[in-house]
């Protein structure tokens, strides 16, 4: 294998890796993932509240699920503010 062939192979490997990383990032930031986690959080909390015999578990489980959703909405805002401050303090 020549150096040029090796370089071409390395480039193809990097492109394949980048495609995997981009797909993973797309999933991590997707609305579908956030909704799935919120629904699963709600169901787990309902099961826990039912087993702990907490009154109205189907209603009370909304609070942790909404807290998760609010946290996912506020993280990008906090990140932008943090990056802005970081850029201007250096």
Torsion, CA 75, CA 77, CA 79, CA 84, rounded to 10: -170
Compute mean pLDDT per 10 residues along the chain, 90 residues long, and list them. 90 96 92 93 96 96 92 86 87
| Alpha carbon separation from 59 to 48, 64, 66, 77 (Å, rounded) | 13, 11, 12, 29
Distance CA 42, CA 26 (A): 24
pLDDT of residue 76: 84
Domain assignments of the chain as residue spans, ordered by start: 3-88
pLDDT of residue 9: 94
DSSP H or E stretch at residue 30: none
């Amino acid at each position: 294998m020549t150096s040029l062939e090796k370089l071409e192979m390395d480039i193809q490997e990097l492109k394949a890796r980048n495609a995997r990383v981009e797909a993973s990032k797309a999933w991590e930031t997707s609305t579908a993932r956030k909704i799935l986690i919120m629904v699963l959080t709600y169901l787990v909390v309902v099961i826990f509240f039912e087993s702990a015999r907490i009154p109205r578990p189907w209603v009370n489980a909304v609070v942790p699920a909404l807290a998760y959703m609010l946290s996912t909405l506020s993280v990008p805002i906090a990140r932008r503010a943090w990056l802005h401050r970081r850029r201007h303090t250096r």
